[in-house]
Amino acid sequence: MSAYRVVQWATGTIGSRALRAVVEHPGLDLAGVYVHSAEKAGRDAGELCGIDTTVGVTATQDLREVQALGADCVLYMPLLCDVDEVCRILESGANVVTTRGEFHHPPSMNPDVRKRVEAACERGGTSIHSTGSSPGFITEAVPLMLTSIARRLDSLTIDEYADLSQRPSPELLFAVMGFGAAPAAFDEGRLSHARTSFGPSLRLVADALSLPLDSLEAGGELATARRRVRIAAGELAAGTVAAQRLTVTGLHASRPLLSFRATWYCTTDLDPAWALHDTGWHISVDSDAPLEVGLRFPVPLDRMAAVSPAYTANRAVNAVPFVCAAQPGIRTTRELPQITATLGPASTG
């Protein structure tokens, strides 16, 4: 079969990594690049994703140019989701794979938005799919695989760990995440964001297992530095926030069934002491076929910021052929075939 023609929409941290993956993919052809800044418009795709050679596709800020390309799929990766944009893309006949989290579980969506997007899919004969590393791979694909050898599930917990001690991003760590501040009550806005980000994945898995969730609960914990510590982003004083844990739990029959727990830390010398793992994931399955599974990122901490975008971007790029082949509509991990990567030469014809 011929290669799928793909547009990369936005070239931030994840988008630029996805752009490079499309250029290098044996079964995809880069049809276009959409950017938000005038500074990037008109530049070659190779320059935008760090490839030394010229690709021959220049970036545009004109949505009409993108629609006129007749692409098979748009990799939609903006900072914020614009439903009007998404509907126009779908209506133009292009499928959408997105790392935005709005489409993981259609029943969790705003009903009016869901209706608009499904109508756009119907008019364009297209489909849309949300994916990534987390949420996505670790909150949907992996739990569904691990429970495929069970006949009873008592609980499943996904732990995500991130050692941020070598992350050179003071604005992110101090201004946005609140590290280095005096401990206080966990911000309700962040708890709400956690429910919105990871709750739909938990509901998707529960529905697939015929164990629908009654409700979602979210909570947060903080730990402080026992002594002054220097990290790549700056300095943490003793007694200030040095670790955070966000937990989203889905209840079935009034009992915790599925949980996602994210633990971010800047030092291991904490008060209170927390059990910590290296950056990566740990999944605990309590069932008639119990499992403990660890997935560690074997990357030096000073290279983590450069390597980690691949986990999210590659999942989306690998999903393109499966989404293009899907029936029109909002398609989830539950409905699509298992995503497999095409790493060798693509067939032509």
**pLDDT tens-digit series, residues 22-38:** 999 999 999 999 999 99
User: Six-digit token pair at 330?
Assistant: 């909002």
180 within a domain of the structure (yes/no): yes
263 and 323 inside one domain? no
Backbone φ and ψ for 290, nearest 5 degrees, come out as -65, 150
256 and 318 inside one domain? no
3-state SS assignment for residue 241:
strand
**Which CATH number covers residue 129?**
3.40.50.720
pLDDT digits (tens, 9 = 90+) for 117-172: 999 999 999 999 999 999 999 999 999 999 999 999 999 999 999 999 998 889 99
pLDDT digits (tens, 9 = 90+) for 331-343: 999 999 999 999 9
Cβ 183 vs Cβ 224: under 8 Å = yes
Cβ 54 vs Cβ 69: under 8 Å = no
307 Cβ contact partners less than 8 Å away, ≥ 6 residues apart: 297, 299
281 and 187 inside one domain? yes
200 and 172 inside one domain? yes
22 Cβ contact partners less than 8 Å away, ≥ 6 residues apart: 6, 8, 28, 30, 75, 317
335 within a domain of the structure (yes/no): no
User: Six-digit token pair at 266?
Assistant: 């800047």
Cβ 198 vs Cβ 260: under 8 Å = yes
50 and 123 inside one domain? yes
Tell me how far apart the alpha carbons of residues 134 and 260 are, in angstroms, rounded to a whole number: 10
106 within a domain of the structure (yes/no): yes
Tell me how far apart the alpha carbons of residues 312 and 100 are, in angstroms, rounded to a whole number: 11
Q: How many domains does the structure of the chain reveal?
A: 2
HSE at residue 347, side-chain half, CA atoms within 13 A, is 2
228 within a domain of the structure (yes/no): yes
**What residue numbers bound the domain in which 106 lies?**
4-133+309-330
55 and 127 inside one domain? yes
The answer to whether residue 348 scores a pLDDT higher than 50 is no
Tell me how far apart the alpha carbons of residues 13 and 25 are, in angstroms, rounded to a whole number: 19
Which pTM does this prediction carry?
A: 0.93
235 and 186 inside one domain? yes
